[in-house]
């Protein structure tokens, strides 16, 4: 029992530890005046304790050493939660903000079990819906556009599961279309992560893989493999017959590097 408790405690700590370079921590530090501040704003896909660390990957890129990367991602966030902490991001006066959010809004809308988990975490004012997601997302963008001069880049969602005939997969495309529409109407930067990944999965004809289903074991088992046995995210997804996702929710290295490359292209092209 003691050993199990120690193992559980270790894995829980690793999977939930807040990024050291989050917005609040960076506000309390002295930021170099000669570097541009890049805020990555989102949920567990950005937090990267249970997903490929694309923020750390970019921060370690030799070509991007004139940027300071801020990881303002926290597990299980919805757009609603970003509205609660947006002032910390604004206070940093960033040059760039990349926003990747919405997977938990989608999941929370699927059924009562999903909703209850998020409500227990966040005491939500309502049950997540596609309409509430769009309303909150537009509000977030409006606040950022009004209060700072940063270049804002919206990122569409990775697929929820890789089974191309499943409802969660198709919903990820619908939510991503909302993000794309907001970016277009507000004249913001946009990275079509969903479009890139779903195009490849549809081309592969992925119908024989298990779709995303409500439940935590598929995710928890990936986390255990990573932290207890040292398996990287690509090895875990490969063992499950998945191309881009480790657990039908989070990014493996292949997907994370695709996202990082698109972000780097924006940062480098603006610096020329």
Q: Please check the confidence at residue 8 and state whether its pLDDT lies above 90.
A: no
Q: Which pLDDT tens digit goes with each residue over 106-117? A: 999 999 999 999
Q: What pLDDT digit, counting tens, does each position of 130-141 carry?
A: 999 999 999 999
**174 pLDDT above the threshold of 90:** yes
The two tokens of residue 95 are 């040059």
14-18, 59-63, 82-86, 237-241: range with lowest mean pLDDT: 14-18
pLDDT score at 207: 85
Task: Provide the residue ranges of all domains of the chain, joining segments of one domain with +.
Answer: 2-271
pLDDT tops 80 at residue 82 = yes
Please state which CATH class domain 2-271 belongs to: alpha beta
pLDDT at 10: 80
pTM for the model stands at 0.95
pLDDT digits (tens, 9 = 90+) for 175-209: 999 999 999 999 999 999 999 999 999 999 878 89
């Amino acid at each position: 029992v003691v050993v199990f408790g120690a193992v559980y405690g270790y894995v829980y700590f690793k999977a939930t530890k807040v990024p050291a370079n989050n917005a609040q921590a960076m506000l309390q530090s002295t930021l170099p005046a000669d570097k541009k501040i890049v805020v990555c704003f989102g949920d567990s896909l950005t937090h990267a304790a249970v997903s490929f660390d694309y923020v750390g990957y970019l921060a370690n890129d030799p070509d991007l050493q004139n940027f300071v990367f801020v990881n303002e991602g926290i597990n299980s966030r919805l757009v609603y939660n970003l509205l609660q902490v947006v002032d910390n991001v604004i206070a940093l006066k960033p040059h760039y903000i990349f926003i990747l959010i919405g997977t938990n809004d989608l999941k929370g809308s699927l059924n009562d079990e999903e909703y209850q988990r998020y409500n227990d975490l966040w005491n939500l004012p309502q049950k997540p819906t596609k309409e509430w997601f769009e309303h909150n997302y537009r509000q977030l963008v409006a606040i950022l556009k009004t209060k700072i001069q940063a270049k804002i880049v919206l990122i569409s969602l990775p697929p929820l599961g890789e089974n191309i005939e499943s409802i969660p997969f198709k919903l990820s495309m619908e939510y991503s279309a909302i993000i794309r529409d907001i970016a277009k109407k507000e004249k913001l930067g946009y990275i079509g992560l969903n479009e890139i990944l779903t195009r490849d999965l549809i081309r592969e004809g992925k119908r024989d893989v298990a779709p995303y289903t409500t439940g935590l074991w598929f995710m928890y088992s990936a986390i255990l493999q990573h932290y207890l046995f040292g398996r990287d995210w690509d090895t875990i997804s490969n063992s499950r017959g998945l191309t881009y996702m480790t657990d039908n929710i989070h990014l493996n290295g292949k997907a994370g590097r695709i996202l990082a490359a698109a972000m780097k292209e924006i940062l480098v092209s603006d610096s020329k």
